[in-house]
Structure 1
């Protein structure tokens, strides 16, 4: 049986434009809700080992908080996920300046990024298709970029996210999905057992910008190659943890053949038995432990306190346009940017 998708009105933007919410449901009872504003995943309902469903996604039940100060809850990110140092890069001999919105740096495509635009939406069988045209010069980026995102909920409790993009001028592209998860449905995430298939990570400076090198995880608090509670070493005296106020780092995935999909991460919440696995074609995953959540945001009857959610953002490395040793993030005319990731939910009985 295919998953079903229903469209309903959600709210209106200040300019009067209609924002819709799409409800994806499968025969197993899993429900995912997605807005065409920002491509935001607002809810993910999955069962625990006793069959009790809970919403494991951080988010809001009204539009206003997403327009105000949402920390990218559930959103699509572009043109460039993560940071570009100083809001500057040079491409084919030409210098470009981007707006800075994270200290001295450009973060997640600027304001507004793809997280705060209304996407064109349509339903194709069991898939929600979102499209957005980013104009030449938008947020300082060169070229007109046409982006298509496919969201699909499978019968196996997987959320499939596929990005495609084409451009008419060379431009950096690094698209990702920025959901925050709490597999317990509440409380903090420090007891979640995390595994990340990465032998190295990208060290950052105090501004959270890459130093340009890779560092081994062995012998550090960044070694998640075997399952370990997120909170086990998060407060150790380590310069990298101090820079990120916890984990806010890109992990370099141990990948199969180019273009293949790897299981990047496995997360288990021991009390509920809920499990989340991330599969991706991307070379990296940004693990963020909700360090800057401070209890000032509320939604869906919850208060989003310190480390009450975690992110696993499949992506290329931060600041790659300024780091020639990192995997390429420049899309050129005639090329097709295409990448897929999957979020698989299950229970450990």
Structure 2
């Protein structure tokens, strides 16, 4: 019989193989300054363990087995809610209403200009000052066909962070076999831009293992969207061939890192994926030579942001771990940056009567 355990107190589950069957546990994670209580859910299916809080939908821990069967936590994060509130660089969070950057913190839609918070001066980044990563979501845990699922829902009111329309959003996290599946759904009562994504910082050698420059990466993209020094796309789409961005063949992340031309040095680029919109197709594959863990990213989205933790270096994470620059990578499935201001890019405008759908899967194995 399928059972859901909602337990207050200490988490009983600490390793990927600690239980034979699927289950979900809940504990109190902390209290926000306004008195709102936040919970932490632990999902396990016998292969993997994911810890997810309803504050920002943050994946705080993801345990997967290495080549020797030992569980490894492959995402960076903090041990407590306060650190996520005070100093998180979007560790593990749901990003919205619009992920990535919007140039000069403004856009026009149906003849009207909308001004946003310039939280990444002069641009708006990842939904603004208080995006979806900083909201408390309503959580509903359940187990379906032996697959633990956490459904998170949030209603973003008309005008929140400057965006038009009331947007109703649902994000489902599911552990199935060796994969973390993320399904997004949204609808609106007024035309509005929507570009949701997931922002885990991965280190397949372990969250506290140091730099990820020895990881081997393949991105299933022949083109990218070049940008200016502030990472706003020019509007052009150019080939990766002959550039440091060419990961069409498996290549160590650090091999051409210093040639990207960014300041600080590293990768923070949007790739134009080969897949057809609406179909779940391969976006990237990455592996650690230390643990043998490999991760395949699949998505319905047309773009993938590859980021190498260029701004890390100040964070003290789980267990007192110091996260260095290049201590993780992000692979964020998305539409292209600044899409509301780039009519030549695929549109992210959601209109009343339409349903936004997105699916991204992080699938794990070993080499």
The TM-score with structure 1 as length reference comes to 0.96
- Give how far 1:16 is off: 1.6
Measure, in 2, the Cα distance between the counterparts of 1:302 and 1:243: 25
Kept in 2, the 8 Å contact 1:208–1:243? The answer is no
Change (3 A) 1:250 1:244: farther
Match of 2:162 in 1: 140
Partners of 2:221 and 2:23 lie apart in 1 by 36
- 1:153 aligned residue: 175
3-state DSSP of counterpart to 1:64: helix
Aligned partner (choices 274, 282, 285) of residue 254 of structure 1:
274
1:219 to 242, 254, 266: 242
Instruction: Give SS of 1:300's match.
Output: helix
Unaligned 5+ segments in structure 1 are none
2:128 is equivalent to residue 128 of structure 1: no
**Counterpart among 153, 163, 168 of residue 184 in structure 2:** 163
CA distance, structure 2, for counterparts of residue 120 and residue 242 of structure 1 = 39
The equivalent position to 2:265 in structure 1, one of 245, 250, 253, is: 245
Moved more, 291-300 or 171-180: 291-300
Matched, 1:298 2:320: no
Match of 2:128 in 1: 110
Aligned to 1:264: 283
Deviation at 1:94, TM superposition (A): 0.6
Which stretch shifts more, 6-15 or 100-109? Answer: 6-15
1:8 aligns with 2:27: yes
Deviations 1:29-52 (A, max 9, x none): x11100000000000111111112
The aligned residue for residue 59 of structure 1 is 77
Alignment-derived partner of residue 227 in structure 2: 204
Superposition deviation, residue 297 in structure 1: 3.4
Give the length in aligned residue pairs: 342
Deviation beyond 4 Å, 4+ runs, structure 1: none
Instruction: Give a deviation string over 1:107-159, Cα, whole Å, max 9, x none.
Output: 000011000010011113231010000000000000000000000001x2100
Q: CA RMSD in A?
A: 1.2
CA contact (8 A) 2:139 2:153 kept: yes
Shift of 1:304: 0.9
**CA apart distance, 1:175:** 0.3
Render the CA deviation track for 1:163-197: whole Å, top value 9, x for unaligned. Answer: 00000000000000100000001110000000000
Tell me the TM-score normalized by structure 2. 0.91
